[in-house]
Structure 1
């Protein structure tokens, strides 16, 4: 997966997408079982150093069918967290 960075309201958003099922004992991947997602929200200081970050898991009743779908859900979830629309999730302290 590429390291796509988005910016929203002065914060950086990093989608985190990973296979729903871990690698098998033989190292095989199970992409057909879907993907899970999380998002890392970061604040940078004036000198461009990372000052704070937090990871939020994107809750979904079933795995996302494709990596792109999970990535879009991560970005949307981050924006809703930043806007204060997700109960129990906050960027206070970032």
Structure 2
């Protein structure tokens, strides 16, 4: 299954959402402890050599739902991209 992504200011943004706890043996999922999130920001297209970075969301507590985590990761990516100085790329250096 392809993860959802979209283009924001010329960069692809892909929310990454995952359960906080690993799934225990014999169970189908482990969503009771909530979700953590990150976001991948990369150059558009799937060309080889395209630059990409993953940023973990700074959250003190887990998100209650995968939708909350997805929305938060999208908003975080927009803030990172918007805060990048003119003439620089979020894909360069440490943020």
Q: Name 2:77's counterpart in structure 1.
A: 78
Which structure's residues are more often strand, by fraction?
1
The equivalent residue for 2:33 is 33
Aligned runs of 1:31-70 on 2, under 5 Å?
Answer: 31-44=31-44, 49=47, 51-70=50-69
Displaced runs of 4 or more, over 3 A: 25-28
SS of the residue aligned with 2:15? strand
The question of whether the paired residues in 1 share the 8 Å contact of 2:41 and 2:91 is answered with no
TM-score norm. by structure 2 comes to 0.79
- Distance, in Å, in 1 between the alignment partners of 2:24 and 2:91 is 38
Residue 10 of structure 1 is matched in structure 2 by: 10
Aligned-residue Cα RMSD (Å) equals: 2.4
Q: Does the C-alpha gap of structure 1 residues 60 and 92 become closer, same or farther in structure 2, counting only changes over 3 Å?
A: same
Does the 8 Å contact 1:44/1:52 carry over to 2? no
Residue 30 of structure 1 and its aligned partner are, at CA, apart by 1.6
With the length of structure 1 as denominator, give the TM-score of the two structures: 0.80
Which ranges in structure 1 are unaligned for 5 or more consecutive residues?
Answer: none
